[in-house]
Chains A and B, each alone.
Chain A
């Protein structure tokens, strides 16, 4: 994505600020996986994984990995005190039932109405949706962490998604390397601009109109 570590951490830190005591949180792969590094140590949060873990903890030290304790991406994790295992039906039952408070995931495009496209690049790659549709449709709050523009410099925040949708009107908040937006009934609201960008630069890089808070 061409983003420096500092920017990725800045985005993850901003997303972490949305996580409150007692929440159940599902994290996507990539930048979202950095979010736990930015949570205060005293906060009690249960990280949920689609394969059937509630209460995922950090990756173990090298040599301490357990091949039968991995996250949904297949990488070793640990279990926090109070954590539990379940089968995948139960794990998705939790998502559909609205028990997951926040999901933080990546995106290809987000529209001004909060439509999400994050699973298929037409003509290029069809990896499958995995659990993205359940999470996008049913998590109480959907936070997208993504670069503001794609590799060609096109805005990933758009009036209408051109890629196939994962779910309609599901995104609540967009955190990019440039700015933070909230999706509201009236449209997109810009709430923060990250250093060193200016409001004009955000406007130039965004393919739809938005309000300023």
Chain B
């Protein structure tokens, strides 16, 4: 395999980019579409005090939930932690800070961060003190909205089915979920992929994430956890 853009590397090498106290944005929804080999690498490297931004905290033994269950995380920005009882327990004990955003608002905040929009207006959560407190309200054409701010991160990690050498990505079925948004919102984006092909092998019309958003491509060793339905 040629490596004309010097983006293809290994999990071991990209692990140098992660440090204690860092912020990581991750793709995936209930663990589906989260990058298993990078997560495994982060666990083995021992990084801690992380802030995580992503849809949910997976399950204790699945996806990003493994980092949470191993006590490596100090803060999570997510829409849901219900499938990871350890996250709930740590939040109750006060060792894990959790900032909740409604799911659609959260992904839109990530998209906004990825496309250079600082904030947007939405009426989602107006009836909930939990969501609306401490947020700026904006009246537009007589109707009140919440100002929701963009999210981005120094590092994003995503999972894709295929990458070419340039980092153009295609995804696999519902494992796409938040990955195309997260891929845009990282200052550095690392794509863990099932298959790497030469440029020209992906049809330009099928590419979901243009390679301009991807800095590093690493081959995956595949999912190393047992799904809840298995």
Interface residues of A (CB under 8 A from B): 49-53, 65-76, 79, 85-89, 91-93, 95-96, 120, 125-134, 137-138, 164-168
A-B contact pairs, 22 of them (CB 8 A): A51-B29, A65-B229, A69-B173, A74-B30, A75-B229, A87-B179, A87-B181, A89-B104, A91-B104, A93-B104, A96-B124, A126-B91, A127-B88, A128-B78, A128-B79, A129-B131, A130-B82, A133-B128, A134-B105, A137-B124, A166-B128, A167-B127
CB-defined contacts of A49 to chain B, threshold 8 Å: 174
A92-B108 CB under 8 A given contacts A76-B229, A165-B127: yes
Q: Are A137 and B123 in contact (CB under 8 A)?
A: yes
B138 CB to closest chain A CB (Å) equals 17
Is the CB of B73 closer than 8 A to any CB of chain A? no
CB-defined contacts of B80 to chain A, threshold 8 Å: 127-130
CB-defined contacts of A134 to chain B, threshold 8 Å: 102-105, 124
A-B pairs, top 5 by smallest CB distance, nearest first, are: A127-B82, A92-B104, A74-B30, A128-B80, A68-B175
Is the CB of B125 closer than 8 A to any CB of chain A? yes
The interface on chain B, measured as residues whose beta carbon lies within 8 A of the other chain's beta carbons, has a size of 51
CB-defined contacts of A131 to chain B, threshold 8 Å: 79, 102-104
The chain A residue with its CB closest to the CB of B78 is: A128
CB-defined contacts of B147 to chain A, threshold 8 Å: none
The one of A66, A75, A96 in contact with B228, judged by C-beta atoms closer than 8 angstroms, is A75
Q: Are A69 and B174 in contact (CB under 8 A)?
A: yes
CB-defined contacts of B29 to chain A, threshold 8 Å: 50-52, 72, 74, 88
CB-defined contacts of B130 to chain A, threshold 8 Å: 120, 129, 164
- A91 and B103 CA atoms in complex are apart in Å by 10
**In chain B, residues 21-47, which have Cβ atoms closer than 8 Å to a Cβ of chain A?**
29-33
Is the CB of B111 closer than 8 A to any CB of chain A? yes
- A53 and B83 CA atoms in complex are apart in Å by 20
Is the CB of B149 closer than 8 A to any CB of chain A? no
A152 CB to closest chain B CB (Å) equals 22
CB-defined contacts of B127 to chain A, threshold 8 Å: 137, 165-168
The chain A residue with its CB closest to the CB of B183 is: A87
A124 CB to closest chain B CB (Å) equals 10
Beyond A67-B32, A87-B176, A129-B79, 12 additional contacts (C-beta under 8 Å) are A49-B174, A52-B29, A70-B32, A74-B32, A85-B174, A87-B107, A87-B178, A87-B179, A89-B108, A92-B103, A126-B100, A128-B79
Q: Are B174 and A96 in contact (CB under 8 A)?
A: no
Q: Are A68 and B174 in contact (CB under 8 A)?
A: yes
A164-B88 CB under 8 A given contacts A68-B175, A70-B30: no
